[in-house]
Amino acid sequence: MELVAWVLGAICPKFALKALTTPLNKPILIGMQERKTKDLVKKYCRQCSEMFMTSIPNKIYCSIKCSGESFKERTGRSSALKLPTATVGAISELKLSTDLMTKGYSVFRALSAACFCDFIAIKDDKTIMVEARTGYMNKVSGTPSFPRVMHGKIDCFAVYFPLESSCKYYDLTLKEIIL
């Protein structure tokens, strides 16, 4: 009851007194509409283990912050470097270029961010249009997670996994390939 009164009081102070005197499950007037308050249930956050009150039956996190932290932990999508995403992307491109060069490819990087591919790798008579990505391994399923958006004709995705410090290559059907 006190939580309902606090929430209503924060929205509009004149409803705080009304909420304190109205039992739960009774209609209360909010603005021009009559709404029914729901039963609040005590739950424990799956991320931080703190107790919270909710009327949503399947709610498992106390806040958006805890939900986001749990997502990052499950998917592995967290930056240990604490760098801007553009910087992490640039590092991934350089790591992938270096990996291809150590495998004997000549690598030509795009000068514009709007090019159809990030770099072109050539070895012998084989030319590959490569789209570079930063990826994360899902800790629950063990599957790779990376953006699959293509801006033009490419032959493969080159994915750098910063938490594992590894480079992997995938064809357009997302099957891992060896270059």
Distance (Å, whole) CA 82 – CA 68: 16
**pTM more than 0.75:** no
The amino acid present at 154, given as its one-letter code, is I
Give the three-state DSSP class for 22. coil
Structural domains in the chain, CATH included, are: 1-39 (no CATH), 42-75 (no CATH), 85-177 (3.40.1350.10)
Per-residue pLDDT, 63: 93
pLDDT of the chain, 179 residues: tens digit per residue: 455 554 555 555 555 545 445 555 555 555 545 455 568 889 999 999 999 999 888 999 999 999 888 877 776 666 556 788 888 899 999 999 999 999 999 999 999 988 999 999 999 999 999 999 999 888 778 889 898 888 789 999 999 998 889 999 999 999 999 98
- Residue 148 contacts residue 137 (beta carbons within 8 Å): no
Indicate the helix (H) or strand (E) that contains 44.
Answer: strand 41-44
